[in-house]
Amino acid sequence: MSLTTLLRRRTTDSPDQAIPREEPDWGRIADVRMRQPAYVCGRVRSLRVQPRANVPTLECTLVDDSGGLTLVFLGRRDVPGIRLGTRMIVSGRAGSHHGKLAVLNPDYTLLGA
């Protein structure tokens, strides 16, 4: 089931909000495995722009109480709404980026600070 479908089922009555009504079924970051689908929620701990071959890349560290996961937004210097402390739900296929567990260009939903 896609992230969009899950959020559509769990949103409040207001179309502008995407906050789950009941306890969601996302996993812990520590349970994310390489080359497997990841569906996690966490808080942004760090952000940095890392140029790669003249293309900007925004790297974001998402953490929960179990660990951290790198989110990589290729070709971006900034993603509107993603700031330090922002809570977000992320989905995508886990892989490796500079030797760290990462999700490249993830689907995401911002939950606020």
DSSP 45-77: EEEEE--BTTB-EEEEEEEETTEEEEEEEET-S
* Confidence at residue 38, expressed as pLDDT on a 0 to 100 scale: 93
Is residue 14's pLDDT more than 50? no
Give the Cα separation of 104 and 95 in Å (integer). Answer: 8
- 84, 86, 90, 95: CA torsion to nearest 10: 10
- Rounded Cα distance between 21 and 81, Å, is 21
Which value, in Å, is the radius of gyration of the alpha carbons in the chain? 14
Beta bridge partners of 105: none
Better pLDDT: 13 or 46: 46
Pair of tokens at residue 111: 């939950």
**Average pLDDT of the residues in 39-45:** 96
Report, as an integer, the average pLDDT of 8-12: 41
| Whole-number Å distance between alpha carbons of 64 and 40 | 9
Give pLDDT, residue 55: 86
CA–CA separation, 70 and 101 (whole Å): 6
What are the structural domains, with CATH classification, of the chain?
25-112 (2.40.50.140)
Per-residue pLDDT of 93-105, as tens digits, reads 999 988 889 999 9
pLDDT band at 25 (very low <50, low <70, confident <90, very high): confident
